[in-house]
Amino acid sequence: MLFSKNVINLMFTDNSIKFALINERNLNVKKFGEVKLKSGIIISGKIMDENLLIKILGTIFRKYRLNCSFVKIMVPDQNLVIKKMRVPKYLEGEDLRKYLRLELEESMQSLPYKDPIIDVCDYGFESSDDDDKDVIIFTTSKEIMEAYLRVIQRHRKNVIDSYISPLLTRRLYLFSKKLVNNDQRFTMFTQIRENTHILTVFDNEIPILSLRDTFEIENYDEEFYIEQILDVLERICHFFQYQFSKNTEKVQKIVIYTDILFTKNLQELINEKMDIEVEIIKDIPLKVSIKTDLTKYYLPIAMSL
């Protein structure tokens, strides 16, 4: 990867595959696109027809001449769990992961899959006489991720990294503002895309609470849809303040990424409803050979920012 210029960033959803070919030396977006998927190929982030997906991906690579060997992928949101847990302070490394795996297996809130991939980071500061500490865990399904790796590797591509969409949303915001870190704690980064809302509260660089709201839209009505957005934002802010942080903290800012074109001013409507600072990620300065709106490809592009 040290001498490579180009990388293919892939984002799989139940409905489509989005891709962006990026020259990472100069952050030039060389190619991008989206291919819609028939219903049933991927369901809730799980590949149901692996052979057909292999053929579709091969067609994408050939049609768009995506010849480079290196690929980055986004972890399916449906299988991602971000959770705060209290653990004994002395646990570290693999001992901590084994403890967390056992706790998750025995918990009433067990994971929706077996054999999870677990990553973890410390959160907060405990006094020297406190025997426990808070950690934030990130889990996804090993079985599901291995299926995506097989699909990609069948085309002699190497997956060099994987990302979760909440971190990509935050990365987009920081890049758009030319910032290294947030200017406020407890910022809610919100994705409004397709039939899914993903709302993640960050404490600086650490996502500490993430919730996904999925729904079906039969007859799209913008006014009703915006009411749904306002309702879910209000509910999650209330949950964070009064249940998650026990009324010690509250969401300071809401940052939104969406590729949906609203005729009404979503930012103003949220401000009026919630009296909270709101920003919408848009008009990110990117090098691109074709002058077009790249908003719908921001998440795959963000893997290279």
CATH number of the domain to which 185 belongs: 3.30.420.40
The reply to whether 258 and 282 lie within a common domain is: yes
**Structure confidence by residue, pLDDT tens digits, 181-211:** 877 899 999 999 877 899 999 999 999 999 9
The reply to whether 171 and 153 lie within a common domain is: no
Those residues of the chain that have pLDDT short of 50 are 1-2
The reply to whether 279 and 244 lie within a common domain is: yes
The reply to whether 151 and 288 lie within a common domain is: no
The reply to whether 126 and 71 lie within a common domain is: no
The reply to whether 222 and 201 lie within a common domain is: yes
Q: Which pLDDT does position 1 carry in this prediction?
A: 46
The reply to whether 159 and 15 lie within a common domain is: yes
The reply to whether 70 and 96 lie within a common domain is: no
Model's pTM, two decimal places? Answer: 0.92
End-to-end CA distance of the chain: 16
> Measured between alpha carbons, how far is 46 from 14 in angstroms, rounded to an integer?
8
Please give the single-letter amino acid code of residue 273.
K
The reply to whether 194 and 135 lie within a common domain is: no
The reply to whether 117 and 182 lie within a common domain is: no
Q: Which pLDDT does position 106 carry in this prediction?
A: 76
Q: Which pLDDT does position 128 carry in this prediction?
A: 57
The reply to whether 188 and 267 lie within a common domain is: yes
How would you list the strands of the sheet with 253-258, edge to edge? 206-214, 196-203, 187-193, 253-258, 277-280
What angle is formed at CA 160 by the lines to CA 54 and CA 114, rounded to 5 degrees? 70
Give domain status of residue 1, yes or no: no
Q: Which pLDDT does position 131 carry in this prediction?
A: 86
Report the CATH number that the domain containing residue 111 is assigned in CATH.
3.30.1490
What percentage of the chain has pLDDT greater than the value 90? Answer: 71
Residue 112's domain comprises 78-142
The reply to whether 199 and 266 lie within a common domain is: yes
Total tally of structural domains belonging to the chain: 3
Give domain status of residue 175, yes or no: yes
Q: Which pLDDT does position 7 carry in this prediction?
A: 97
